[in-house]
Amino acid sequence: MKKILLIVSLVISASAVSAQSTSSTYIDKFKDNAIRIMHESGVPASIVLAIAMHESGSGTSKLARTQNNHFGVKGRSPVSYTGRKPTHSSYKQYDSAMDSFQDFARIMTERKQFSHLAGNLNHYDYLGWVKGIQRSGYASSKKWGAQVLGLIKKYQLNTYDEKPEEQPQPAKNVE
C-alpha cells in the first residue's frame, strides 16, 4: 500500500513540475511578443500572456497547436487537414502565434464591447483589465477572472507591464 501511495504522489509531483515547466517555457517564448503588443496597443503584457496561457493551456491545446489560435477566438477559418481528413472549425486560424496575439489586442481595442477599457485603463492596471474584460463578456465562467489573476500572480506576469528603467543619457560634448 505504501508503494502505491508513493508512486501516486511521485506521478502527481512530476505532472505538476511538467505543467510549471510548460508555462515557464511559454512565457519565455512569448513575453517579447506580449511586450511589443502592449506598446503598440496599450493592452498590458500580463493580460496578453495570462489570457493566452489560460485559453491555450500554455500553448498545448489543439487549437493553439494546429491553428495558432491562443485565445479561442471564433471566426471563419479555411478548411485545414489532419492527415488526409479535412477539418472544419468555427475558430480562426492564424499564420503565427504573433498574429493571434495581435488579433486579440485588436479585439480589446476596437470591438465596442471592450474598447472602453483601453480608453479608461493604462497598461499598468492589470486588475482593472481583468475585471473589465470579464464584465464585458469575454468568458462565461464566473471563475475566469480569478484564474487569469492567479496566473498573473503565480508567474509574476505584471513585471512585464513595468516601466523600463530610465536609461542614463550619454553626456553631451560641450565645447
Specify the amino acid at residue 59.
G
Distances 32 to 39, 45, 57, 86, 125 between C-alpha atoms, Å: 11, 9, 19, 34, 19
3-state secondary structure of 142: coil
Say which residue the cell 504573433 belongs to: 98
Fold of the 26-60+100-161 domain: Lysozyme (1.10.530)
> What is this structure's pTM?
0.78
Domain map (residue ranges) of the chain: 26-60+100-161
Contacts for 110-115 with beta carbons within 8 Å, 24 or more apart? 113/137, 114/138
Percent of the chain surpassing pLDDT 90: 64
pLDDT of 13-24, one tens digit each?
444 444 457 899
Q: Please give the grid coordinates belonging to residue 67.
A: 491553428
pLDDT of 72-99, one tens digit each?
998 876 655 556 666 677 889 999 999 9
